[in-house]
């Protein structure tokens, strides 16, 4: 996938002019807040005011990276107009719409802070609590990611989303052997140095938050969950239930396969082998000396999947990043 090139922006004199070169954490900025903006013209400035007020009060050095994902309304114009009021804000403008996952990936790669915060610009997350998430990382070096776990579901298609998200979350918990209160919360803070190897795995859509959670958990990077309130979003939701729910569960399986393929393939292989053996015993009793064709197919299929699982695990272990 091609990487959208950010447009050049007029920035305050206090900020470096080259804003496209990745910068390490020695830039004097401690926290980078990545804020995807797509058709949020009516409330994006109010959200920025809320974030900056909270961060200013915390006394932590920060930058707010507002990324316009080729909005079709006046979001970018509002950001540019408000830029002089927020000296810590950098603006990136994509040349075509690429999805929130791409925004968060590029924003995290371009971040100058040691800690990266992801959130949304739709007024749904309590962004005034961002300093609290950052403080946990500052005071507890054993934690690598802090996630705002929502107490309620306030999104569209609620009757469909709740059971679908429950099923996907339980699947992820089973595959990662970890309790996950909220798999796809959009409000989180993490150590940039820990996340860098996994940023290339982020998909372009909403499931990027699921991906970063599973990547951390699969590699034993501690994740802490902080309960948060979740408000009904301002503006129109970009979530499409059928398409995005399918992508969520596919991404969960893909990520666990990437880090621990035995978790996905070996249970299926063992079940097929057990069924094949039991069916073979039945065939021997019912028709001595004869194995039904379906018995052989079940058993051989189990052997093939088990072999693939072991081969995939060998490839993962030899890759050197787990």
Measure the CA–CA gap between 187 and 149, rounded to whole angstroms. Answer: 8
Considering the chain, what percentage of its residues have pLDDT values greater than 70? 84
pTM for this model (two decimals): 0.79
Same domain, 141 and 232: yes
Same domain, 55 and 84: yes
Q: Are 208 and 255 in contact (CB under 8 A)?
A: no
For residues 265-286, b (16+ Cβ closer than 10 Å) or e, as one string?
bbeebeebbeebeebbeebeee
Same domain, 198 and 60: yes
Q: Say if 5 falls within a structural domain.
A: no
List the helix and strand counts (H, then E) for the chain: 10, 7
* CA distances (Å), origin 222, targets 179, 194, 322: 12, 11, 15
Same domain, 140 and 280: no
What is the SS3 assignment for 3? coil
Same domain, 277 and 223: no
Q: Which residues contact 32 (CB under 8 A, 6 or more apart)?
A: 62, 63, 65, 107, 108, 111, 112, 113, 115, 116, 117, 192
Same domain, 304 and 217: no
pLDDT of 36-47, one tens digit each?
999 999 999 999
DSSP-derived pairing of the beta strands 89-93 and 31-37: unpaired
Same domain, 98 and 227: yes
Q: Say if 16 falls within a structural domain.
A: no
Radius of gyration for the chain, computed over Cα atoms and rounded to the nearest angstrom: 23
Q: Which of 221, 241, 259 is the last residue of a domain?
A: 259
Helix orientation angle between 241-259 and 158-176, rounded to the nearest 10 degrees: 0
What is the SS3 assignment for 120? coil
Same domain, 134 and 205: yes
Q: Pull the structure tokens for residue 236.
A: 């129109």
Same domain, 197 and 302: no
pLDDT of 110-131, one tens digit each?
999 999 999 999 999 999 999 9
Helix/strand/coil (H/E/C) assignment for every residue in 196-252: HHHHHHCCCCCCHHHHHHHHHHHCCCCEEEEEECCCCCCCCCCCCHHHHHHHHHHHH
pLDDT of 17-76, one tens digit each?
333 344 444 568 999 999 999 999 999 999 999 999 999 999 999 999 999 999 999 999
Same domain, 134 and 228: yes
Q: Say if 17 falls within a structural domain.
A: no
Q: Say if 1 falls within a structural domain.
A: no
pLDDT band at 174 (very low <50, low <70, confident <90, very high): confident
Q: Say if 12 falls within a structural domain.
A: no
Same domain, 49 and 172: yes
Measure the CA–CA gap between 278 and 132, rounded to whole angstroms. Answer: 56
Q: Pull the structure tokens for residue 46.
A: 């109010």
Domain that holds residue 286: 261-319
Same domain, 96 and 156: yes
Q: Say if 84 falls within a structural domain.
A: yes
Look at the chain and count its residues.
Answer: 322
Provide the CATH number for the domain around residue 189.
3.90.550.10
159 pLDDT more than 90: no
What is the SS3 assignment for 84? helix
How many alpha carbons lie under 13 Å from residue 195 in its C-beta half-sphere?
32
Q: Which of 223, 238, 259 is the last residue of a domain?
A: 259
Q: Which of 243, 259, 275 is the last residue of a domain?
A: 259
Q: Say if 228 falls within a structural domain.
A: yes
pLDDT for res 21: 41
Q: Say if 11 falls within a structural domain.
A: no
Q: Are 219 and 322 in contact (CB under 8 A)?
A: yes
Question: Domain tally for the chain?
Answer: 2
Q: If you average pLDDT over residues 95-108, what whole number do you get?
A: 94
């Amino acid at each position: 996938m091609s990487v959208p090139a950010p447009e050049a922006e007029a920035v305050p004199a206090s900020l470096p002019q080259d804003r496209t070169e990745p910068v390490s954490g020695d830039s004097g900025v401690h926290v980078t807040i990545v804020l995807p903006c797509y058709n949020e013209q009516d409330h994006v400035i109010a959200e920025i005011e809320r974030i900056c007020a909270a961060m200013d009060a915390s006394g932590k050095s920060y930058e707010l990276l507002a990324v316009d994902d080729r909005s079709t309304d006046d979001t970018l114009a509002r950001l540019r107009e408000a830029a002089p009021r927020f000296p810590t804000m950098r603006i990136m403008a994509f040349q075509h719409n690429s999805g929130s996952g791409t925004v968060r990936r590029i924003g995290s790669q371009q971040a100058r802070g040691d800690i990266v915060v992801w959130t949304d610009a739709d007024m749904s997350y309590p962004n005034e609590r961002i300093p609290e998430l950052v403080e946990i990382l500052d005071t507890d070096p054993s934690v690598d990611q802090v996630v705002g776990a929502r107490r309620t579901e306030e999104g569209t298609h609620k009757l469909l989303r709740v059971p679908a998200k429950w099923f996907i979350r339980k699947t992820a918990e089973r595959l990662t052997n970890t309790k996950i209160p909220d798999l796809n919360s959009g409000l989180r803070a993490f150590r940039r140095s820990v996340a860098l190897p996994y940023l290339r795995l982020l998909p372009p859509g909403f499931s990027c938050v699921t991906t970063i959670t599973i990547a951390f958990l699969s590699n034993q990077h501690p994740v802490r969950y902080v309960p948060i309130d979740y408000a009904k979003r301002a503006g129109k939701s970009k979530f499409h239930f059928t398409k995005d729910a399918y992508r969520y569960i596919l991404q969960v399986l893909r990520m666990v396969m990437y880090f621990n393929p035995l978790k996905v393939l070996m249970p299926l292989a063992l079940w097929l082998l057990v069924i094949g053996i039991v069916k073979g015993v039945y065939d021997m009793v019912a028709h001595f000396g004869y194995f039904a064709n379906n018995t052989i197919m079940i058993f051989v299929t189990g052997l093939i999947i088990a072999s693939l699982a072991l081969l995939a695990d060998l490839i993962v272990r030899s890759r050197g990043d787990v």
